[in-house]
Chains A and B, each alone.
Chain A
């Protein structure tokens, strides 16, 4: 099992067999960020978040488990995603 955290939304368990498609969706997001295409980013990032939520089962509140993958918050903007690639800003502190 693979544990994916969506910031602000908790953790989700996915089958290891889902990870391939997860990476494909993630690459589409990266391409949108590289192109600076806001519409493509909203679409692809929305699909990635929806996939994790739909395919995954929610990790119960009281369970303490480390995540294998971490996604930014569902309402992340293209600008914030760009900061994650430039290595500053998105994770302050």
Chain B
């Protein structure tokens, strides 16, 4: 079995040559090559910017998921306080599922940050090499005929072709990775939004948010009712108000 390096070198050179063949029109001048290199450099810059934007979006999605973990934790507490262990369990199950997904995403975002830094370094290298090509091109053009100049600058051209392929591959890897991560984050967000995770639990056809809300509203009403009863029962508020005709009337209305 051949080594990984020799195998990979062959594959990569095929790719780099294809790229050069595309760029090398027989009648084309070095100036034209240089123009194409500048265009490629612009594409790379846009590509790097896109990866940066995509990473930021992923971080926002992750932050949203982190918020829902906090929310679900609160809901689990409320449910348990209201003696609804089934709802508390559902909330905790959802929380665990989201936490599992979050862990993976965090690691991947860190990896993407590293890739992004590498891409910025690569963009800088490519930029320096394109500039170097421009200088060499001017030097040989001043000394040789166009055809001779093409030959003299051959090494520079293949060297640059390699660099462009390298950056192109790195960009593609980063883009593929970003897309996979976005799909995953979106899938988890969708589960959270639709409440589809309810299907996994023992509470059939129920929406967790709605039930917790009802439970919370119920316990709030109970608590206020108890407070009002205490106030009305003791008669203190009425006494304090002196001629408090309106207050007791309102309390009676709410008690109905």
Given A5-B162, A8-B122, A75-B111: A26 touches B5 (CB 8 Å cut-off): yes
A91 within 8 A of B: yes
Q: How far is the CA of A31 from the CA of B162 in the complex (A)?
A: 27
Interface residues of A, count at CB 8 A: 38
With A81-B4, A85-B4 in contact, do A91 and B170 touch (Cβ < 8 Å)?
A: no
B166 near A23 with CB under 8 A, answer no
B132 contacts A62, CB within 8 Å? Answer: yes
With A7-B170, A91-B169 as given contacts, are A64 and B132 in contact (CB-CB < 8 Å)? Answer: yes
Say which one of B12-20, B96-104, B191-199 lies at the interface with A: B12-20
B1 within 8 A of A: yes
Check if B131 is an interface residue, CB within 8 A of chain A.
yes
Q: Is the CB of A67 within 8 A of B2?
A: no
- B4→A7 contact, CB < 8 A: no
CA distance A64 to B135 in the complex (A): 11
A33 contacts the other chain (CB 8 A) = yes
Given contacts A8-B166, A62-B129, A66-B158, contact A84 B136 (CB under 8 A): no
Which residues of chain B are near A69, meaning CB under 8 Å? 5-6, 9
Tell me which residues across on chain B come within 8 A of A10, comparing CB atoms: 121-122, 125
Q: List 21 A-B contacts (CB under 8 A).
A: A5-B12, A5-B166, A8-B118, A8-B166, A30-B2, A30-B3, A30-B7, A61-B124, A63-B159, A64-B157, A66-B158, A67-B9, A69-B5, A69-B9, A71-B8, A73-B173, A75-B114, A75-B115, A84-B4, A84-B7, A91-B15
